[in-house]
Chain A
């Protein structure tokens, strides 16, 4: 046996630090202080990135380090290759170019949105070695355990010469990415729109940032959460009425998260009309974990909402949020501050309801947005849309859902998070939402994935809302009942038409299924006059003209 002292003398304990020092030395010729000329960015990246590195190229849900992405795609693959990309959003074409060009090889991510079709093609073509598709919290957590980046390429609105970064409302993933990278001897490069003498507030401290690149044009932010009220359909309004009358009201849901989409936008827009007439103001929908949805403006202005914490921001909402600090989280400088990790944790543990849409639901209630040719990723929905077993604080809606789930009332009192899927029975081009088997199971086989991508597991789902009614899965006592409850709201899809009509009527008698008429809702009342705002311009006027809609939404 060797003495411990010998072992310690043989092993180097600071290889990461030494590697970092070497990289910084190689990069020093391109930097004055921390500032690097935009023209030298590719050279800088070739100096600081090493083959096989884990790299996070933000890559968020909304903001994009687009300049650094385009420069990383220009490095020589002979010098830099086999990178392992660990970032939440695969959003820009350059993110996938890295793989086509042989610069990157392995991918761990969370959300792919606009690149979902290209990503599916690249995976099938064997261009990408896929680690896993994560939820946001899960990926961020792995940054601290086994996916710590060696290099983080981030993006901020401005920086000072010490590297202090101001991100404004779009802080998003950056704090967690930078924390994990900087404290594990990695290198952090930030692209910024400008260098200033003093940043409005410090979102990331300068001693965590190694290099600053001032870009020729401002970074790109996708207006991902803007839904034009003019596009909301009667069916979506009906679904919104059902959700409010059949779920928000009876459970008294005050703390919640809304997924993205027209179904939830419809809910937001009928709070000041339909829900107000039901006398629900102050009793439901007061505290949100939510991106600043423009469609929530009328409800905010009418006094429905008490506070909102946000994952990210939304294009055009800056001035409005600045003028409503009682509602939004704002810094000392007055601008809103978002944080995807904090807000995901908040949405998981501190809300009583998640409601969101999906593309496919199977007979067990499992849902997925993956189809045979589209890998959309998860984003945050699986975190929001799951029952957190680590929760220990009680609330009325949580306990009521728990009671409904336990049925007999024996045993320990337990709570349940309300996880609601709100869908239309058919999607675009008459594609059915309800299916016998999820496409993602086929996809998993084709790509040899260990785990079929499921957005929300059936055993987490408590309610399914469609235009045909609400299925309360908490009240189902057998797998057969559960299946028939789902078929019973699946409309005229094959799944819906194959229902056991007698079983469905029995479930309706037990209020496991509730039709619009059971809730006192006349289908013909579901029309656009219920929307508090019927256009993007209406939203702007509701905001006192503080909301500045993106150009692509301005039809005036």
Chain B
């Protein structure tokens, strides 16, 4: 397994007040992403475990674009990858952050 831990300082905290959410499943070409609101409001950590070797630079590029785009401050994001393509990774990250934005009913 390749393990990668990326840390960022964000402009703003992530919207919403959900404490955690899981999107996706670990399957071939797919991944699961766990979002937990447990960091300081301007910090973000993304932890990745993937069985596909040699894609560190791609992961960094996808995650950097995501952090730049949505500023997910306060979120600890953990990924179990099943060999997902970057577009699916980006999609799951967006789906997760969107769900975290939905406030409690």
Q: Which A residues fall within an 8 A CB radius of B?
A: 233-235, 424-426, 429-430, 467-468, 491-492, 497, 523-524
Q: Check B61 against A497 for contact (C-beta < 8 Å).
A: yes
Instruction: Name the one of A424, A467, A497, A524 contacting B95, with C-beta atoms under 8 angstroms.
Output: A524
Closest to A497 in B: B61
Which candidate, B14-22, B41-49, B83-91, is the interface stretch facing chain A?
B83-91
* Distance A426 CA – B85 CA, assembled complex (angstroms): 7
B57's nearest neighbour on chain A, judged by CB, is A497
Residues of B within 8 A of A425 (CB): 85-87
Q: Do the beta carbons of B55 and A235 come within 8 Å of each other?
A: no
- B87 in complex: contacting residue of A424, A429, A497, A524, CB < 8 Å: A424
Q: Give the docked Cα–Cα distance between A467 and B55 (Å).
A: 20
Instruction: Point out residues on B near A: beta carbons under 8 Å.
Output: 52, 55, 57-58, 61-62, 83, 85-88, 91, 94-95, 98
Smallest CB gap from B58: residue in A = A492
Q: Known contacts A430-B55, A524-B94; is A467 also within 8 Å of B61 by CB?
A: no
How far apart are the CA atoms of A233 and B83 in the complex, in Å? 15
When chains A and B are docked, how far (Å) is the Cα of A492 from the Cα of B86? Answer: 7
From B55, B62, B86, residue with most partner A Cβ within 10 Å: B86
- A424 CA to B85 CA, complexed, in Å: 10
Instruction: Say whether A235 contacts B88, CB under 8 Å.
Output: yes
- A-B CB proximity, top 10 nearest: A492-B86, A426-B85, A467-B87, A492-B58, A235-B87, A492-B61, A497-B61, A492-B62, A524-B98, A491-B86
Report B70 CB to chain A, min CB distance, Å: 12
Complex: chain B residue closest to A239, CB-CB: B87
Judging by beta carbons under 8 Å apart, are B85 and A430 in contact?
yes
Which A residues are CB-close (under 8 A) to B91?
Answer: 234-235, 523-524
Across-interface contacts of B55 in A (CB, < 8 A): 430
Nearest chain A CB to B95 CB, angstrom units: 6
Give A83 to B91 CA distance when docked, in angstroms: 54
For A466, give the chain B residue with the smallest CB separation: B87
Option from A234, A430, A492 in Cβ contact (under 8 Å) with B83: A430
Contacts of A492 in B (CB 8 A): 58, 61-62, 86-87
When distances are taken between beta carbons in the complex, the residues of chain B under 8 Å from A233 are: 88
Q: State the CA gap A193–B99 with chains docked (Å).
A: 59
CB of A243, distance to nearest CB on chain B (Å): 16
Task: Report 8 cross-chain contacts, Cβ distance below 8 Å, ordered by A residue.
Answer: A235-B87, A425-B85, A425-B86, A430-B83, A492-B61, A492-B87, A497-B61, A524-B91
Cα(A425)–Cα(B83), bound, Å = 15
B93 vs chain A, min Cβ distance (A): 11
Q: Which A residues are CB-close (under 8 A) to B61?
A: 492, 497
Residues of B contacting A426 in the complex (Cβ-Cβ under 8 angstroms): 85-87
Q: How distant is the Cα of A234 from the Cα of B58 in the complex, in angstroms?
A: 21
Residues of B within 8 A of A491 (CB): 86-87
Q: Which of chain A's residues have a CB closer than 8 A to the CB of B86?
A: 425-426, 491-492
Give every chain B residue within 8 A of A424 (Cβ-Cβ).
85, 87
* Minimal Cβ-Cβ distance residue in A for B89: A492
Q: How far is the CB of B34 from chain A (nearest CB, A)?
A: 19
Q: Which residues of A contact B95 (CB under 8 A)?
A: 524
Whole-angstrom distance from the CB of B78 to the nearest CB of chain A? 20
The minimal Cβ–Cβ distance linking B68 to chain A, given in whole angstroms, is 12
Question: From residue B92, how far is it (CB to closest CB) to chain A in Å?
Answer: 10
Q: Which residue of B lies closest to A426 (CB)?
A: B85
Find chain A residues with CB under 8 A from B58 CB. Answer: 492, 497
For B85, the chain A residues whose CB sits under 8 A away are: 235, 424-426, 430
Q: Which residue of A lies closest to B95 (CB)?
A: A524
**Given A492-B62, A523-B94, A524-B94, does the pair A430, B52 have CB atoms closer than 8 Å?**
yes
CB B30 to nearest CB in A, in angstroms, measures 10
